[in-house]
């Protein structure tokens, strides 16, 4: 499963390791809240796959190195529903699909996709929401700097009762004392995937150059003339 997650995340160089970080925080919160081991394992899987719906988001939007427009943001907001549709068809993962669908709902009902509020939101999705937000806040993005872990904790406190379930926030603050860091081995994996994506991106350009050379070679004779036409 980790290989699948890392391959999906390799599409977006700015969020590498994000899902593993969310899983780390979600497990810490669940342990603090007294979840049994079976439920913790399911929650971990949901955290690892919470952004699987992003495979349906176009690269031009997903990899944009600046803040998104309103229209682009509307496209990105489709990913929880897409993730739900993918996972509900998988026998071993269908039970976590509602958690993935609702991990962007807000305690005050202003989230998406369904605008659920309070305890209408599955508890597991409420945990994912806090874990997801914390990981995102302490991660660097092309359009903003990462927050310090201390500042991120302050923002969690501030958003408790509006954006997030206050009890989940309390559990997170008790259980999580340091930020998650992507290991060197994982960074190596992502660098390899980035190189592959680069090669994939420039391959059509290389092919176009070869076609151009072939076309010109048919028109002229002699190396000197060929070089003048390319």
The residues spanned by each domain of the chain are 2-182, 192-229
pLDDT tops 50 at residue 227: no
Name the pTM for this structure: 0.78
Interatomic CA distance for residues 11 and 71, integer angstroms: 21
pLDDT tops 70 at residue 52: yes
Q: Which segment of 4-13, 33-42, 102-111, 168-177 scores lowest on mean pLDDT?
A: 4-13
The predicted-structure confidence for 119-162, as pLDDT tens digits, reads as follows: 999 999 999 999 999 999 998 776 678 899 999 999 999 999 99
> Higher confidence at residue 202 or residue 65?
65
pLDDT tops 60 at residue 171: yes
The predicted-structure confidence for 190-201, as pLDDT tens digits, reads as follows: 445 445 544 554
- Kindly report the CATH number that applies to the domain delimited by 2-182: 1.10.3210.10
Banded pLDDT at 213 (limits 50, 70, 90): very low
Banded pLDDT at 181 (limits 50, 70, 90): confident
Residues 197-206 have a mean pLDDT of: 48
Q: What is the DSSP string of the chain?
A: -HHHHHHHHTT-TTSTTHHHHHHHHHHHHHHHTT--HHHHHHHHHHHHTTTGGGGGS-HHHHT-SSPPPHHHHHHHTTHHHHHHHHHTTSTTTGGGHHHHHTTT--TTS--SSS---GGGS-HHHHHHHHHHHHHHHTS-BTTBPPPPHHHHHHHHHHHBTTTB-HHHHHHHHHH--S-----HHHHHHHHHHHHHHHHHHHHHHHHHHHHHHHHHHHH--SHHHHHHH-
The pLDDT of residue 223 is: 44
Interatomic CA distance for residues 66 and 111, integer angstroms: 23
């Amino acid at each position: 499963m980790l290989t699948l997650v890392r391959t999906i995340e390799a599409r977006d160089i700015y969020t590498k390791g994000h899902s593993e970080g969310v899983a780390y925080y979600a497990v810490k919160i669940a342990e603090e809240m007294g979840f049994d081991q079976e439920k913790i394992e399911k929650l971990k899987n949901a955290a690892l796959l919470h952004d699987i719906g992003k495979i349906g988001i176009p690269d031009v939007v997903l990899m944009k190195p600046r803040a998104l427009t309103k229209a682009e943001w509307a496209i990105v907001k489709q990913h929880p529903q897409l993730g739900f549709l993918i996972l509900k068809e998988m026998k071993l993962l269908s039970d976590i699909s509602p958690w993935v669908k609702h991990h962007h709902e807000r305690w005050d009902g202003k989230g998406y996709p369904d605008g659920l509020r309070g305890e209408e939101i599955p508890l597991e999705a409420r945990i994912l929401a806090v874990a997801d937000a914390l990981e995102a806040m302490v991660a660097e993005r092309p359009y903003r700097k990462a927050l310090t872990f201390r500042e991120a904790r302050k923002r969690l406190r501030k958003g408790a009762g509006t954006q997030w379930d206050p009890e989940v926030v309390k559990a997170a603050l008790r259980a999580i004392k340091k930020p998650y860091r992507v290991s060197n081995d994982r960074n190596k994996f992502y660098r390899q995937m980035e190189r592959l994506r680069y090669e994939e991106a420039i391959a059509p350009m290389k092919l176009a150059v070869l076609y151009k050379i072939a076309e010109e070679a048919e028109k002229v004779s002699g190396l000197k003339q060929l070089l003048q036409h390319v």
